[in-house]
Chain A
Amino acid sequence: MATATGTLPQVQEETTIWTWLTTVDHKKIGTMYGISGFAFFLLAGLEALIIRTQLAVPNGAVVDADRYNQLFTMHALTMIFLGIMPLGAAFFNYFLPLMIGARDVAFPRLNALSYWVFLGGALLLTSSFIFGGAPDGGWFAYAPLSDEEFSPGAGLDFYAIGLLILGTSSLMASLNFAVTVFNMRAPGMSMMRLPVFIWMMLVVNFLLILSLPVITVALVQLVFDRNFTTNFFTPAEGGDPILWQHLFWVFAHPEVYVLILPSMGIVSEVLPVFSRKPLFGYAAIVFAGVAIGVLGFAVWSHHMFTTGLGTVPQIVFTASTMAIAVPTGIKIFNWMGTLYGGSIHFNTAMYFAVSFIALFTIGGISGVMHASPPVDSQQQDTYFIVAHIHYVLFGGAIVGIFSGLYYWFPKMTGRFLDERLGKIHFWLMFIGMNITFFPMHFLGLSGMPRRIYTYDADLGWETWNMVATIGSYMLALSIIVFLVNFFWTMRKEPTATDNPWDAPTLEWATSSPPPEHDFDVIPEVRDRDPLWYDRDHGIEKVEPPSEMHIHLPPPSYFPLLIGLGVLLLGVGVLSHLALTALGVVIVIYSIWGWALEPTE
């Protein structure tokens, strides 16, 4: 029993597999999200390496066209839904309660359920490689590429069912987190004192809550088209493939911000700590994040300029797209304002955070270029776009996540990642990333289309393709250095104190790693940078009473069981409907058990 009452000092209980399977502790769930997310990140990276190896020389023959289509589709899906999103969710799970001064999220069992449903969906989607071929229609799965005629295999069904399950997981997690941010804050933690990371994640949660239902509808229509004889996207029968594109991008554009906003939040935490001064323009950064979220719903059609939207829609979506550059610019200037005049302490976390600003700015600028329809028509479906998204998602999202990892690692494990290896990791990644993706701008402008599996020798694309491939191997090397660093560090003795960086936010007010109940005494917040305020005003940490009774929710196996039921639901649609029926029974039974399970 990991629960009920406990007197300090906390007794460390034995951790078994069962502990992890039934845990409702946000830190353990966050860890599981992190490990799974990183494993899928490695898998997606491996897929990218195969792609780059195939393209290294003209007429490459590493994989055939069909496998290549599967690889680039799964690379995108895995990176987006199984890599970056869970890694963001990992940090948020781990640090949301710690940063707002709570003992857990609002619904601990729902939190565990989100993870198990995610894991089921992720394994289902990935297993398509074994069962008859992965989805091969691109992550956007445009009709008619996605219909039965052009995708006769089961790949697109795996895509639709997998994303439906993953969407359910994200929706549950987002609802849970949103309620937690609104309702579980420590005394004095007003909304405008929330750490920027929490604010950005709140925006992310609302983006997901409001956009996931739209893709759900589109995916349901796809499933019906492929399995139940409807013709939503079949032009010959009166359907309209453009409708899929609209519904997809109403979801997928906010989704892009779902990927980048967490890293913007992380960087906003790291920069002030290692500049030794408060974040410059807190309110402006928060407002800009919210504005990005709102505008994110008003720009979807800029992905569809070449479908012939008509003049007026083109003007409207050009304007709204360009408008997004304003809040983004506000953020970049505020980060620079934070650095300006600070006594900057350059460690690995800071290296990643500062390079985030530069790399993200490059990706942002090439993004604004596509806001103009004539420019967009030139660049659509070329490697220029590939360069753009990778500057935003690798240079932005991934680099930001690594910054957060080096920054929070001592809090999570009590150990510091090695700085020397960390800097080798950083430089290999920074140089490798630019060598991989910058040449893609040139390739795109010289006309190389995306998603071709090979190209002829005399098109003038050989040099830069070879350079990009070399860069991708440097990236792989940098990840190996990181993994060495990780495993080596984990063998060291934990030495981290509560607040080794002298950081201002609440997660540093408790031990490293935090006890199961997070805080001995729920902290009181007096300022936006609570720990700096307490330090400067000589406010001592409140000593815990000698005897404490902290109520923690008991572990539960129902989340795991429901996760299994949901997985069966999906597997049944793909194989035999009897499994779906079994899934429904398991889900209903477990919900009952869940509702009747005592939580006090």
Chain B
Amino acid sequence: MASDAHTKGSGSTLGPRQYIQITIGLAVVTVLELIASYAGLGTVTLVTVLIVMSAVKFGVVVALFMHLRFESRVFTQMFMLGLILATAILIGLLALFWNDSTDALGPEELPPWEHHGH
């Protein structure tokens, strides 16, 4: 039966106890995120810190709650395909829009939205 093979496949060693620990860990990171966002860090530092922390949360849920770590590598490959492509297109689009028509302009000629700062 496929389900037998499957139960073996997802036979992660994690039990309720570990799941509680993971959940607490995720909650702690979320609190840290909140603290960081109120701590008055510089924009670049704050964005970096927040993105790293949310990536950690993302990774933990995918790897442990979704059992990706214990499953066939095919699943990882499939999911990463979508994730990486989505990230690449996001970065590509942002680069296109944020640099849009500013190629030949000096800083004083930046269009208004650039002054709000990113």
Q: Give the B-binding residues of A (Cβ under 8 A).
A: 182, 206, 209-210, 214, 240, 242-243, 246, 250, 297, 301, 308-313
Contacts and interface: CB of A to CB of B under 8 A. Distances in A.
Interface in B17-65: none
A250 B89 contact: yes
A214 B103 contact: no
Contacts of A243: 97
B81 A206 contact: yes
Given A310-B99, A310-B100, A313-B99, A246 B85 contact: no
Contact of A310 (B82, B85, B89, B102): B102
A306 to B, nearest CB: 14
Interface in B77-118: 81-82, 85, 88-89, 93, 95-97, 99-104
Nearest to A183: B74
Interface of B: 74, 81-82, 85, 88-89, 93, 95-97, 99-104
Closest 7 CB pairs of A and B: A310-B103, A311-B103, A210-B85, A313-B96, A246-B93, A310-B99, A250-B89
Contacts of B104: 311
A310 B101 contact: yes
B76 to A, nearest CB: 14
A308 B97 CA distance: 11
Nearest to B99: A310
Given A297-B89, A312-B103, A246 B96 contact: yes
A297 B85 contact: yes
Contacts of B88: 297
A301 B89 contact: no
- Central interface residue in A182, A209, A311, A313, by most chain B CB within 10 Å: A313
B101 A210 contact: no
Nearest to A179: B78
A308 B101 contact: yes
A250 B85 CA distance: 11
Contacts of B74: 182
A304 to B, nearest CB: 9
Nearest to A311: B103
A248 to B, nearest CB: 12
13 contacts: A182-B74, A209-B82, A210-B82, A214-B89, A250-B89, A297-B85, A301-B96, A309-B96, A310-B100, A310-B102, A310-B103, A311-B104, A312-B99
Nearest to A304: B96
A242 B99 CA distance: 14
Given A311-B104, A313-B99, 13 more contacts: A209-B82, A214-B89, A242-B100, A250-B89, A297-B85, A297-B88, A297-B89, A308-B101, A310-B100, A310-B101, A312-B99, A312-B103, A313-B96
